[in-house]
Homo-oligomer: A and B are copies of this chain.
Amino acid sequence: MRISGQITPDDLPRVCPLLSRQTNPQYGEDRTRVVEVGGVRFGDGRPVVIAGPCAVESHDQMLAVARAVERADGDMLRGGAYKPRTSPHDFQGMGMEGLCMLRIAHEQTGLPIVTEVMDTRLVEQVAEYADMLQIGSRNMQNYALLAEVGRAGKPVLLKRGMAASLCEWLGAAEYIAQQGNLNIVLCERGIKAFPAGEYARFVLDLNVIPAVQANTFLPVIVDPSHATGVASMVEPASRAALEFGSHGLMIEVADFLTGRPRCDADQSINGETLARIVKFAQSHHERLLVDQQAV
C-alpha cells in the first residue's frame, strides 16, 4: 500500500533549498545565520530573551510590563495587538491602538518589538510599528501571509504549528525565504499529543531543537509559556530549552498589580521570575564560553 504525501527530512534539500543546511554548505555543519533585530542578535551565542504580555491591554499595563522586562534585562518586547482566539466572541486584541502602545513602550525602553500579524492586508501597517513580525502557530501554513511577510522587509518570527512536522515547519519558512527574506527565527511552542491538557497545555518538544539545527542554519528559540501553560513550569522549561541548545526564549510576563491578564493568565510569570531566567541565560552563555576555551 503506497501512501500519498510522505515527506521526510531526507527531502529537505528539495523542499527548502534556500534554507536547508545541506544545500547551503557555506554554513558548514553547525554555523547559525545571525538574525539582527534592532541591535539584538539571534544565533550569535548569547541567548535572546523576548518577554511581554500575552495581549496589549492598556498604556499602563504595557508600560508596567515593559519596565519589568527592562529591569529584568530582557532583550525584546512582545505583546499581541491582534489576537487569534478560539472564539470570535473573545477579546480579539486592541488592534491599531495596541500597536501604538507597543511603539510607545519601545520609545520609553529602547527594547525592539515583536508582534503577531494575522492578515495579509495588515502586514504593511504592523511592519510600520514592529521591529519583527510574528507568524503565530495557527497561521504557520497560511502561505499567502508567509509570502506577504517575506516581502515586508522585516525579520520574521515563525512559530511552529501545533501539529507541524519538522518538514512542514521548514517548508513554511521557505515561503518567507522565497521572497528574498532570510531573516527568519523559528520558535518551538509545544505540540498537541495525548497528554496535552492533563498536566500542561501542550507537550514541549525540545528534541526538535537539535533537529532544526541539523537541517537548517536559521536560529531557533522556544516559547515556554504556551508549551507548558503553567506559570510555575516556565522557569524550568526556559532553563531546559537553553541547555538543549535553544538560541533564545519568548516568555509571557504579566504585571499583576495592574490587573489579571485578559488571556493566558495562568501561564504568565512576573518580573522577578523573568529576571532569574535572564540571569540564567547569561550565566549559561558564560559557562559555554568557558567550556569552549577549556577545549
Give residues in A with beta carbon < 8 Å to B: 1-9, 14-17, 84-89, 118-121, 138-139, 141-145, 147, 161-163, 165-168, 171, 174-175, 178, 191-201, 203-211, 214-215, 227-230, 232-233, 236-237, 239-245, 264-267
Name the B residues within 8 Å of A85 (CB-CB): 143, 171
Q: Which single residue of chain B is at the shortest CB-CB distance from A261?
A: B4
Complex contact B240–A1 (CB within 8 A):
no
Known A14-B87, A86-B167, A206-B206; contact A199-B211, beta-carbon cutoff 8 A: yes
Complex contact B121–A120 (CB within 8 A):
yes
Name the B residues within 8 Å of A5 (CB-CB): 201, 229, 264, 266-267
Distance, CA A171 to CA B90, complexed state (A)? 10
Shortest C-beta distance, A84 to chain B (Å), equals 6
Distance, CA A208 to CA B175, complexed state (A)? 33
Shortest C-beta distance, A205 to chain B (Å), equals 5
Q: Which of B15, B191, B215, B267 contacts A203 (CB 8 A)?
A: B191
Shortest C-beta distance, A223 to chain B (Å), equals 12
Distance, CA A163 to CA B230, complexed state (A)? 21
Name the B residues within 8 Å of A15 (CB-CB): 86-87, 89
Complex contact B197–A1 (CB within 8 A):
no
Shortest C-beta distance, A39 to chain B (Å), equals 28
